[in-house]
Structures are given as structure tokens and as C-alpha cells.
Amino acid sequence: MNRVLVTGANGFVASALIPVLTTKGYTVRGVTRLSCNGVPDNKDVGEIGLHTDWSSALVGVDSVVHLAARVHVMNEQSSDSLAAFRRVNLDGTKRLVEQAAAAGVKRFVFVSTIKVNGEETEEVPFRAEDKPAPQEPYAVSKLEAECALQHVCEGTAMEWVVIRPPLVYGPGVKGNFFRLLKLVTKGIPLPFQSGTNVRSLVSVYNLCDLIERCLESHAAANKVFLVSDDEDVNIQELLLKMALAMDVPSRLFCLPPQVLRIMASLFGKKNEINRLLGSLEVDITDTRESLDWEPPFSLDQGLRRTVSLWNI
């Protein structure tokens, strides 16, 4: 029986992953920072960083799926955001990897971010073999964690796998995606009828399916994989699909992207509008071919499952 340790076990992705792994016959142990009801065989390790003791959680574990991370902070309070990200995403990950290797863990799956490749694409989609170009502290800390993982695993029997997802959506998603869902369901007119960008997304269901494949496939060992729904859309198409999934009318009108960017800058929303109007396209050809894997859910199916299982 394969025992899997899932960190960040009460988080957005883990909440979908743990039932999938349990159904597939894995024995799952969840790790959280604090004691948490509803997490199987839960171990709380306190604050994650350079001195976190993961040893009791790793006893008898065959594989690790590392989801716990310090993610984007909308109202950053730290005077040194990169150091704050590094404490959790680099130091905490490296500490876990070192203790996992010492405990005899066979495979370590690290869920990183496509932002390791960069913030936007222009004509050519991101590929796993691209030279990394992180631009934000969060992405920098994730790349450094990837490098630490690979370095620690060298000379040990533990195999590593890195998965870099773009925006992950599903029940419980936050940020721009949630705000768009709320606006669409309320019937508020939105100025995105002239969308020309290209955006890759991945449903939490497709991401979890790939994580499970990476736990079991020999071909996954010591490789980086990109993931998406393999169905890229612009902002207009996404909003239309959201409206269709929720069975509400779409109310879109046209404002030129340059006008939207100017207005967003005036209201301090430059980053938010760039995420909506910019392109970020992912090529998952290598993932599909290396792992004999196809996303089991289309974008439309992922959106319908999201809204049917979640009271927007």
C-alpha cells in the first residue's frame, strides 16, 4: 500500500486531491500548520521554515506531495517580501526534502508554478525546457525550491517530480477568477468583448489527476511537467463559458484594452488587469507524451463542476 504525505492538506488543491488519492487506493496522511479536523491522519507541524520538524509525519511514508506554500499576498505587510517567501517556499521545502530523503521516501512531487517560466507569453507558449525567468518574489522562491529539491535528491534514492500549473480553478478558488464568477452571476456588464489574449488554465480536477499520474509513473521521475486543460481561451471566451456554466446571460461590452489598462492604473489595479488581458499560454505536449496523459476534463466540464459544487 502506497502511503502518501500531502502537505497543505486543508488547502484548495489538497481538498480535491486527498479524495482522489483515497479513491485510488492510497493511504493518505495530511500535514497542516495547525491541528485541523477533516484531514486524514493529520499531523500539525507548526510554522513552516528552516527549522520545521517533519520527522514524525514522514514515518512510513512512500511518497510526498508538497502543496504547502506561501502564495501571493494581496496586501503585503513584510518589508522584505522575497525573504518572507523564501522562509516558507525555499527553506521549508528544503528542510522537508532533506528529511524525506533521510526517511527513505521514494518520490517527492513538488507543485510549483508556471510563473517560474515568466509572467506572460508572446506568440510562443511556455515549455518545460525553457530557461526560467521568474519576475516576482513568489516565483523566484518557487524556482529556488525546485533547484534545492533537485540538488538534495542527487546522490540519494529519492526521485523528484516538479509540476508547474498556471491558474488553478475549482470550488473554493480565490482571486480574479472568483471575482469574475461573482460578477458574471450577478449579471454585471463587463468591458471585455474585445479579448485578444491567450490564456491557459487548469481545473483542480485535471491537476489532481496529473499529480496522481506523477506518483505512479516511472516516466515521471526527475522531470519537470507543465499542465493545463489544453484548451486556451481569451478573456471574452472565458466569460462566455462562465455564463454558460452558470446558465446566466453574458453581458459584455467593448472597451479597448489600452483604455482598460489606463483606467486600471488610475485605480491601482494595474497587476489585476494585466492578469486578465495578458497572455500566458502553456504547451503540455511533453506532459501528454511522456506520461501518456490527457486532461480528463474539458474547460467546459471543469467550469460546470466548479459552479455545481460551489455556491457562488
- Residue 156, CA atoms < 13 Å, CB-side half-sphere: 22
Decide: helix, strand or coil at residue 36.
coil
Give me the numbers of helices (H) and strands (E) for the chain, helices first please. Answer: 12, 9
Q: Cα–Cα distance between 115 and 165 in angstroms, integer?
A: 9
Q: Cα–Cα distance between 305 and 312 in angstroms, integer?
A: 12
Cell numbers of 252, please? 459584455
Report how far apart the first and last C-alpha atoms of the chain are (Å, whole number).
Answer: 38
Could you count the other beta carbons within 10 Å of the beta carbon of residue 171? 16
Taking alpha carbons only, the member of 74, 100, 83 closest to residue 49 is 83
**DSSP states along 102-164:** HTT--EEEEE--GGGT-S--SSSPB-TTSPP---SHHHHHHHHHHHHHHHHHTTSS-EEEEEE
Per the listing, cell 526517511 goes with 103
Could you count the other beta carbons within 10 Å of the beta carbon of residue 277? 21
26: annotated active-site residue: no
| Positive/negative CA dihedral, 290, 126, 152, 210 | negative
Cell numbers of 149, please? 529539491
Active site (catalytic) residues: 138
